[in-house]
Amino acid sequence: MGECVVVVNQKGGVGKTTTAVNLGAALAEGGCRTLLVDLDPQSNATAALGAGIPEDATLAPRCGVYAALCGDTPIRDQVQPTRWTPLCLLPATVELAGAEVELAADPTRHAVKSCLAPLLDDYDIVLLDTPPSLGVLTVNCLVAADSLLVPVQCEYFALEGLRQLLRTIELVRESLNPELEILGLLRTMHDGRTNLSQQVAAQIEQFFPGRVFSTLIPRNVRLSEAPSFGLPVTCYAPVCAGTAAYRALAKEVAVALRLPYEGTDELGAPVPRKPAEQLPEGPETAPAPPPEPDPSPVLIRTPSLSEAELVALD
């Protein structure tokens, strides 16, 4: 049964879509059966994989995740294979914006979970890309997910809004999905040359010890170029700091979730490894992230947030 991981932060432009797409591609490169579900009406993840949909939604037949949510069509019919086997995509259309209203009537917020349930056995991991809000769609994703990955930009104001996100997570745990775990916070757009970026990266680790991925995602121009070619960065620029970082993240995620991940060399070729269940857990399994090594241990999945952490953000 596939692990469902939601990539979430109600701030826009922090690297959610970039992470969902490139982590998905890197996991697939390592042999992980991965489904990327685009739950943002802006369809950026869909476009980033070159699976554009007609601009004019009124001419387009209902398709993608929205059609499945409406019950118009079996969800399996909406899954698209990609060139990066075994990565599959459940695309978004602009019509998904309407789902915010349609899903609002259901207080259980279970629509996305119910919709995805028939697919979970087909994949090792299902990644949900979410809109930049804590609206009904995002809460539906929090209910559907087993764990969450929170990209945090290494910039001033990085922690702003995190408190609200963490409170929402606590509320979802209390009422709708008690099993929801924090897989980890991911520091994105890190620029090792600036003091600010280094300070923010350190501060995030200080506030959330044991909950932060060792891998730092660097600010990297290839990562911003790749979507305009409709390619994941692993394909667009197989050897660059951005690709190396997302491959390192894929390994961290695979270890944490015990996914059947073979690993890849620096060009993305599979490198057979020990079976996932034999992978040791510990600092030695966390690859040194570019651009600079980070000695912190691999993430620890912890079930609940302490009040102290919430207060730290006040």
Q: Could you give the strand order of the β-sheet that contains 212-218, starting from the edge strand earlier in sequence? A: 80-81, 87-90, 34-38, 125-129, 3-7, 147-153, 181-190, 212-218
Number of residues forming the site for ligand ADP (CB under 6 A):
17
Q: Which of 277, 306, 289, 311 is nearest to 210 (CA)?
A: 306
The site partner of 13 among ligand ADP, Mg ion, none (C-beta below 5 to 8 Å per kind) is: ligand ADP
Closer to ligand ADP by Cβ: residue 12 or 118: 12
> Smallest distance from the beta carbon of 116 to ligand ADP, in angstroms?
20
Amino acid at the residue 226: A
H, E, C per residue of 112-173: HHHHHHHHHHHCCEEEEECCCCCCHHHHHHHHHCCEEEEEEECCCCCCCCHHHHHHHHHHHH
16 binds ligand ADP (CB under 6 A): yes
Six token digits for residue 75: 């969800």
> Smallest distance from the beta carbon of 44 to ligand ADP, in angstroms?
5
What CA–CA distance (Å, rounded) separates 96 from 240?
A: 34
Residue with tokens 């899954």: 79
264 binds Mg ion (CB under 5 A): no
> Smallest distance from the beta carbon of 37 to ligand ADP, in angstroms?
14
For residue 81, what are the contacts with CB-CB under 8 A and spacing of at least 6?
Answer: 88
The site partner of 115 among Mg ion, ligand ADP, none (C-beta below 5 to 8 Å per kind) is: none
Q: What is the DSSP string of 224-279?
A: HHGGGGT--HHHH-SSSHHHHHHHHHHHHHHHHHT-----B-TTS-B---S-GGGP
Q: Residue 59 CB: number of other CB atoms within 10 A?
A: 7
Residue with tokens 């993430």: 299
Which of 8, 189, 201, 259 is in the footprint of ligand ADP by CB under 6 A?
189
Q: Residue 231 CB: number of other CB atoms within 10 A?
A: 19
> Smallest distance from the beta carbon of 290 to ligand ADP, in angstroms?
11
Residues 5-44 within binding reach of Mg ion (CB under 5 A)? 16-17, 44
> Smallest distance from the beta carbon of 105 to ligand ADP, in angstroms?
27
Which of 194, 224, 302, 304 is in the footprint of ligand ADP by CB under 6 A?
224
82 binds ligand ADP (CB under 6 A): no
223 binds ligand ADP (CB under 6 A): yes
178 binds ligand ADP (CB under 6 A): no
Closer to Mg ion by Cβ: residue 21 or 235: 21
For residue 228, what are the contacts with CB-CB under 8 A and spacing of at least 6?
Answer: none
Residue nearest to Mg ion (CB): 17
220 binds ligand ADP (CB under 6 A): yes
18 binds ligand ADP (CB under 6 A): yes
The site partner of 243 among ligand ADP, Mg ion, none (C-beta below 5 to 8 Å per kind) is: none
Which residues contact Mg ion by CB under 5 A?
16-17, 44
Q: Which residues bind ligand ADP (CB under 6 A)?
A: 12-18, 44, 132, 188-189, 217, 219-220, 223-224, 227
